[in-house]
Amino acid sequence: MLNAVAYEYANSNRRLSEAVDYASRAVGETSSQTMNVKLDSATSDDFLNMSVLAAVWDTLGWAKFRSGDTASAENYIQSAWSLNPSAVVGEHLVEIYEKLGKRREADHICRLALAAPGLADEHDTKEKLLAAQKRIGISKPESGTVDARSFRPPAVAELSDMRTFHLPRKAEFPANSKTASKIALFTIAIENGRSTAQARLVSGDRELQPEAQALATVDYRQPFPDSSPVRIFRAGWVSCSKYIADCTLIFFLVNDKPSLDMAKPKPDSANH
């Protein structure tokens, strides 16, 4: 409720001091909830709560931006975008980058936000993004055709890359193994202020258990808006091939409930 009221105030550009206060309280409460959860007991609801964390970060950033605190707003909305790159959050980040004179960054996020999940349900957001793209004047709306002279990866591919990470393969493939690849579902906790993450194999090929050690030191490219204690829970598939030195981790979207339901803790899962 605090977040909803704060967002309405910020959107309507009124009672902004209250908007910042309410949004700050919402961020504090949500962050505290994450610190009360351990990785080995995290439920699918705890993983889905990451979309709430992204939302309250976005609201506080938006309220700060409307209040004139653009530098702090950038920190919160960048963090929200990294966690959940939705069209609305992207549009907010575009406005912030424009205000800061970061035209190329604004154009880049605008292009991604126009391909982000949820855009079809946000007609006003799409119109704002298209207007911003025209105003910035660097990119044109994607047509689906490729110009080799000015090729850039499609926005959808870039959004997917945001959830994709590479880690050294620690799992061994015996010489007589008939299996060339293995895959397992891992859950991961990334805590603000800690240099290493926690990783836990939930299901799949148990031979990939050694990858938990590698997952602990991956750079997840997840910024935090301030120094407050907060724990981020993510889940995704790790796949390894005996022909490649690296394994690949692909995170689920933070609001992908069917996938996150698979991350429910199981009694026989190992903890790390």
Strand partners, 251: 236
Same domain, 132 and 168: no
Contact 268, 190 (CB under 8 A): no
Instruction: Indicate whether 165 and 227 sit together in one domain.
Output: yes
Domain assignment present for 166: yes
Q: Are residues 171 and 78 in the same domain?
A: no
Whether 146 is in a domain gets the answer: no
Q: What is the pLDDT of residue 270?
A: 47
As a whole number of angstroms, the distance between CA 51 and CA 88 comes to 13
Please indicate, yes or no, whether residues 77 and 181 belong to a single structural domain of this protein: no
Q: Tokens standing for 30? A: 């949500």
* φ, ψ for residue 127, nearest 5 deg: -65, -40
Burial of 259 (0-12, 13-18, 19+ CB in 10 A): middle
CA atoms within 13 A on the CB side of 183: 5
* 26/111 same-domain check: yes
Q: DSSP strand E in 123-267: where?
A: 164-168, 181-191, 198-204, 231-241, 246-251
Are 235 and 259 spatial neighbours (Cβ–Cβ below 8 Å)? Answer: yes
Residue 101 included in any domain: yes
The 10 Å Cβ neighbour count of residue 166 is: 13
Q: Are residues 125 and 193 both part of a single domain?
A: no
d(Cα 10, Cα 20) in Å, to the nearest integer? 8
- Which pLDDT belongs to residue 121? 80
Establish if 41 belongs to a structural domain: yes
Task: Measure CA 40 to chain center.
Answer: 21
Domain count, the chain: 2
| Whether residue 8 sits in one domain with residue 131 | yes
The CATH number linked to 132 is: 1.25.40.10
Domain assignment of residue 60, yes or no:
yes
Same domain, 17 and 87: yes
Question: Partners of 249 in the beta sheet?
Answer: 165, 238
For residues 58 and 171, membership in a common domain is answered with no
Domain co-membership, 38 together with 131: yes
Contact, 84 vs 54, CB < 8 A?
Answer: yes
CB 87 within 8 A of CB 113: yes
pLDDT at 268: 53
From 103, 136, 169, the end of a domain falls on 136
Which strand ranges, in their side-by-side order, compose the sheet holding 231-241? 164-168, 246-251, 231-241, 181-191, 198-204
pLDDT number for residue 162: 97
174 and 113 in one domain? no
Inside any domain, residue 148: no
**Closest to 221 measured CA to CA, from 167, 169, 162, 166:** 162
Residue 151 lies in a domain: no
pLDDT of 148 reads: 46
pLDDT values of the chain reduced to their tens digit, one per residue, 272 residues: 999 999 999 999 999 999 999 999 999 999 999 999 999 999 999 999 999 999 999 999 999 999 999 999 999 999 999 999 999 999 999 999 999 999 999 999 999 999 998 788 878 999 999 999 999 988 766 544 444 444 456 899 999 999 999 999 998 888 777 788 999 999 999 999 999 999 999 999 999 999 999 999 999 999 999 999 999 999 999 999 999 999 999 999 999 999 999 987 766 544 44
Same structural domain, 185 and 251? yes
80 belongs to a structural domain: yes
Domain interval for residue 31:
2-136
